[in-house]
Structure 1
Amino acid sequence: MLRKSLVLAVGCSALMFGCGEQPDETQVIVDNLVEAGFPADDIMVVDGKVYVGRDAEVSLAASHELLTQDISTQEQYRTTNLVGSAVTKICINGSTFTGAFSTALDLAIQNYDEMALAFDMARAPSTGCSFTINAVIQPGVVGGSAGFPSGGLPYHTINIGDGLAPYGVDVIEHVITHEIGHTVGFRHTDYYNRSISCGSGGNEGDAGVGAIHVPGTPTTATVGGSLMNSCFRSVETGEFASGDRTALTYLYPPRGYAMLNFESGDARRTSSTGDWAPGEYKAECASGEPVTGLSLNPSSRYTRVALCPTAGDARFPHNGCYARNFSTADNRGTSATGDWDPGYYKGECGPNEFVAGVAQSTAHAITSVLCCPGTVAHTSCAARVFDGQDARESSASGDWDPDNWKGECGPGRYVGGLSRSVSGGAPHALLCCSP
């Protein structure tokens, strides 16, 4: 539970059976969680409901999914269960919320809805809801509780304690946003050491199941560093931290786009082109997709994310592709576009080719672009310099890498070339072209 103390509620801890016989279904959930690797001392049963991490309720179906899913090592941390693509609008029914609680619920929903995600979020009543979460005021509680997704659907209820009233709107907004985070699949950022945000407490448990790191987010938790920390402070603002936004856009990218984070490893939507840059970190779109955007971390100056439109376009096949290395000098398939970024090394595909992938060294210097022949003509090309600010021809894809500089070509356009700094190798500009 997200609260100042570690006591979930007045009730019995799981696996302590002196408080009355547990219902059969409850025992099955507990058994499944133990088998999945959650520590016994992190599983609690309160009023017949099973919780892990103090505030995340686990249903019978969700506990079965934790056992059956194949986990690959991927902080923001997520559960194995996520919301499916069929859910395009999540509505929240807070009909009993009044005053500061009603205002905070509106602000929490706004936190999610103002981001470009795979789903919209709105307060009920609203039209077009794919799923409705019920928001309940829980008497005598300072904090909140919720559960994990199951069957591709968010968890059905968030419980918000009325004991939060003295903390004000921002803290209530923080708790509501946090509990909604659990319903769409987030675990606590400090799950491995609750004392980071709570002052005491240990590891909620992982064992390779149920706590999967989200690429592109920090690997350590800090006080105030994430809205998904286990416990809250009286000074919370109710707003997402940078890592929270990165995690959301990674797990639930805007419909029609894929974000490939290759800052610390390959992120490829196809391997049909082979290892075209051995020993380097590669981002590669799938066949039918050109690269249309790239981002740069302002502090580290590392390349982070490549953007791919996922609608599928026959003009952009992945056949006959090859790598064009420009780590030490220009390497261009055409000069018809002129010197579109003077003073920088340029990698540019030929006039009938498009960029399908980008590679950077393990030291984070851009080295190559993957060029593929397509039904394209390199017309109306323009350089978009994104070293120092966003340089986007369109914002339809949303803020797909928050707090980082983004270069992006507009709808129907593609990256025909990329430039990098001579020293350091940070990306500098995209060459955006029309077919």
Structure 2
Amino acid sequence: MTTTPSGTVDTLRFATAGSVDDGKSTLVGRLLHDSKSVLADQLEAVERASANRGQEGPDLALLTDGLRAEREQGITIDVAYRYFATPRRRFILADTPGHVQYTRNMVTGASTAELTVILVDARNGVVEQTRRHAAIAALLRVPHVVLAVNKMDLVGYREPVFATIAEEFTAYATELGIPGWGPGGNPQEKWCTAIPISALAGDNVVEPSATMDWYGGPTVLEHLEAVRTTGSLSREPMRFPVQYVTRPRTAEHPDYRGYAGQIASGTLRVGERIAVLPSGRTTTISGIDLLGEPVEVARAPQSVTVLLSADLDVGRGDLIAPAGAPPAPVRDVVATVCHVADEPLVPGRRVLLKHTTRTVQAVVKDIPSRLTLDDLSRHPDPGRLVANDIGTVVLRTAEPIACDAYAECRRTGAFILIDPADGTTLTAGMVDGRPPS
């Protein structure tokens, strides 16, 4: 049983990625089908749709290819989210597109993932999109990656084919500077685990393959159930963005004033001295309410209400952090961003920057470089970022924000840029630091 610190079954968020026709949706469908997570009417609908397309058996990819355009083309063009559970763990999966023009969708799906499954067609090996998806996973600091070498049935289930692909991918990951690779490492701590599979036949997806006895590692589902995840959030510095202020004003609690939200990272403790940012005022935590009951300790990602000893001016958008090591509020931010809007992002553009629960006005001061994901090389002074581009931007905010570097805390190091005119999301960003003086 994989549990959270509170003793409940935890949830793993993971994403799939790969080139077109590598079998992402089929793998997800096989996971759902073989783990008995498909309702009878869903399976009947897939069987009917498969028969209409002239297929003899059910096409399990249709369990995730939910858009009509996807079913007609046989490709994934949007992020399809599915939810399922086993006795050991709950899962939220995002089946992301393989096309280059949908890079932004892969960024969206992987941005909150704790694990990414990158599929490779055993006949084609590591291709440009494989390297692109590995680079995105590394850029987004996804804690774990599964390299699923798919369609092993089409290469005779030969071990040398799998070994060659795994070695090439490992070499590329090393070039990216990804930690956790190399001989003698703890398998739980490795960034990537390579698994040979056949999603169509079901080999090593949920059940071990009878035709690949040379492979002694876990199946995909076994690895998903066992990989260590949410514990890392509680080990990061404590960050609590205030979502709203609650004042029930009941006869029993006439002076109750609490600050509700979700713990982004770390651990909250009654009696701990904290700072409220960006004001910098300090006090101590006098109480923590979890599901209406007082507790002494709460951990990310629990949603709680915090009570403070002092009567401070605290509202939505403020950040509670340890008084001894709070993030310094800043107005100048350097960030790596993925531009998701069709309208280009250019210097001088005025935007809204949403960071945790705080939204402030900002301006794009500069775009120093654009990133080539194939090799992570940087092209200086691109002048603009268009849809699916990833690059570096320098931002100036109208009000200070208390942010961390994304490498240190994913939740408080991330933000989005919004069009102030219509509320459209323009860009997803990851804080690198402050601009050089």
Q: Do they fold alike, i.e. is TM over 0.5?
A: no
TM-score, normalised via structure 1 length: 0.29
Q: State the TM-score, normalizing by the size of structure 2.
A: 0.29
- Give the number of the structure whose residues are more often strand, by fraction: 2
